[in-house]
Amino acid sequence: MQFSYLVVEGPHDAEFIGRLLRLSGLRKLRKIEDLAAYWRPTIPSTFPYRGDLLTRVPVPVFFQSATHSIAVHSAGSISRLVPTVEETFAILGAKRAEISSIGIFLDADWQIPIPNTFARLKAEIEAVSLATPERPGTVNQNGVRTGIFIFPDNHKPGTLEDLLDECAALIYPELRKNAQQFTTGAATAALTKKERREFEKPAGRLKATMGCVANFLKPAKAIQNSIEDNRWLCSESLALDNISKLDNFLKVLVGL
């Protein structure tokens, strides 16, 4: 069995990566008895986690086949990506040596150039005794396979929503058009500065638009529910250049 550990920023990133894994033949695990014993120590055994009633218990999402067992872990923020790897290493102890591959997935920062973000992550990863790839979107295959993928394409600023937008343009074109029109109209609404803060960030309008599409498909549910259940990622969208590159990177990383 090959064990892979993938760390992402948030739950919708985890579902996007998970959906690609499911399309590659792995199944998402729900019951702990189906989970490989190797990962059991990573599941917190007490609640509330660290005494905080409001903190989500940081359980990875697990995907498995006859040959692969993959943990996809939401770190919560960019600053928590490598610390999450370190904490999991500490939990696994000597068994960390059994991990076949480690991947980190994050959005491109609009303020910090991608080469700078990659250089910082590279230094942090090497500090925990892991080899790193030469550039984002590639995999170091010397020993433990390691890779860093920076959404949307390892080159330009953006977020996972840029990839969702490409999928929506192909799979849900009319729904996307209507969502864009609504977002454009809603942007003129009289709101407080605090209420407009998230929308006015560089990716705010696109996130709102993709949220509208997802909320139509899954009313009153989080966008990750739509990513999991709807056709954002399917045989047709896998042919899109950026989606194909991400899918190929993931397959090389985890050894599919």
Question: 126 in the Ramachandran plot: left (φ > 0), alpha (ψ -120 to 50) or beta?
Answer: alpha
Q: What is the pLDDT of residue 110?
A: 79
63 shares its domain with 180: no
Report the C-alpha gap between 214 and 218 in whole angstroms. Answer: 6
* Amino acid (one-letter) located at 248: N
Asked whether residue 45 falls in the same domain as residue 140, the answer is yes
Q: Residue 62's domain is classified under what CATH number? A: 3.40.50.10620
Q: What is the mean pLDDT of the chain?
A: 95
- Indicate whether 17 and 142 sit together in one domain: yes
Exposure b/e, 89-110, CB count within 10 A at least 16 = b: beebeeebeebbbbbbbbbbbe
Segment 236-241 shows an average pLDDT of 98
User: Is residue 124 domain-shared with residue 225, that is, in the same domain?
Assistant: no
Q: Is the pLDDT of residue 66 over 90?
A: yes
User: With left for phi above 0 and alpha for psi between -120 and 50, is residue 34 left, alpha or beta?
Assistant: alpha
Which amino acid is residue 206, in one-letter code?
Answer: L
Angle between the 173-186 and 160-171 helix axes, to the nearest 10 degrees? 130
Are 83 and 183 members of one domain?
no
Size (the chain), residues: 256
Q: What percent of the chain has pLDDT over 90?
A: 91
Total domain count, the chain = 2
Helix (H, G, I), strand (E, B) or coil at 191: coil
Statement to judge: residues 125 and 35 lie in one domain: yes
Cα 197 to Cα 9: distance, rounded to the nearest angstrom: 20
DSSP label at 138? -
Residue 152's pLDDT is 97
16 and 69 co-located in one domain: yes
Could you tell me the pLDDT band of residue 52, with boundaries at 50, 70 and 90? confident
Q: In the chain, helix, strand, coil percent, each to 5?
A: 50, 15, 35
pLDDT tens figures, 3-49: 999 999 999 999 999 999 999 999 999 999 999 999 999 998 888 77
**Residues 247, 206 within the same domain:** no
User: Is 248 found in the same domain as 128?
Assistant: yes
Range of the domain at 173: 160-229
How open is the CA angle 78-45-74, to the nearest 5 degrees? 20
State whether 151 and 182 are in the same domain. no
Average pLDDT over residues 150-158: 96
Which pLDDT score is estimated for 170? 98
Q: Is the same domain home to 28 and 121?
A: yes
The pLDDT value recorded for residue 98 is 96
Q: Which band of pLDDT confidence, cut at 50, 70 and 90, is reported for residue 91?
A: very high
| Residue 202 and residue 105 share a domain | no
